[in-house]
Amino acid sequence: MALEDPVIAPEPQAAAAADGLPPRFACFVAGTDTEIGKTLTSSAMLYSLVRNGARACGMKPVAAGAVMKNGQLHNDDADQLIEASNVHLPQALTTPFMLKEPAAPHIAAALEVSKSIRCRSWRRMSKSPPPPMPSWWKAWAASACR
């Protein structure tokens, strides 16, 4: 082989993956309303991936209507995705925004921010003589701290 001979390099091959899936597979399930099957569809996909030997984990970025169980917030949809997964990551990664209010996420977030501000105001008022305020406002602010 001389320097002037053409060099034909082999074409790069993609790494083989099980069952025709690319080495890294990501899927985003979206819907425009509540209770239309996003979690059910996602869980079914996870179950199928896990059953076929893939390592899979579901994520629900924002979950509203969470309840406290064993000292940690839980949401039925997020828990369903965890049960269908075989890779278990911290909740801070799989459901970073866990909201207590059972409402659409944007409404639940606004309500929780409002409660946080109200609660801080109530705590401040409790430590120092509050300025003159209507009694309904005091009750409203105090209700956020429950």
pLDDT at 14: 46
pLDDT at 11: 56
What are the residue numbers of the active site?
Answer: 60
The pLDDT tens digits along the chain (146 residues) read 565 666 665 555 544 455 665 667 788 899 888 889 999 999 999 999 999 998 999 999 889 999 999 999 999 999 999 999 999 999 989 998 888 988 888 788 778 777 766 566 556 655 655 555 556 555 655 565 55
Q: Quick one: which of 63, 69, 138 has its CA closest to 101? A: 63
What pTM, to 2 d.p., does this model score?
0.63
pLDDT at 15: 45
pLDDT at 48: 93
Q: Within 10 A of 87 (CB to CB), how many other CB atoms are there?
A: 13
Residue 98, H or E segment: strand 97-98
Helix ranges (H only) for the chain are: 38-51, 76-84, 91-94, 105-127, 135-143
pLDDT at 128: 56
Q: How far, in Å, CA of 128 to CA of 130, rounded? A: 6
Angle (CA) 16-17-21 rounded to 5° is 125
**Assigned CATH topology for domain 21-100:** Rossmann fold (3.40.50)
| Phi, psi (deg, nearest 5) at residue 18 | -65, 135
pLDDT at 31: 87
Residue 99 contacts residue 64 (beta carbons within 8 Å): yes
Residue 37 contacts residue 30 (beta carbons within 8 Å): no
Q: Quick one: which of 20, 89, 80 has its CA closest to 53? A: 20
Strand pairing of 62-63 and 97-98?
parallel
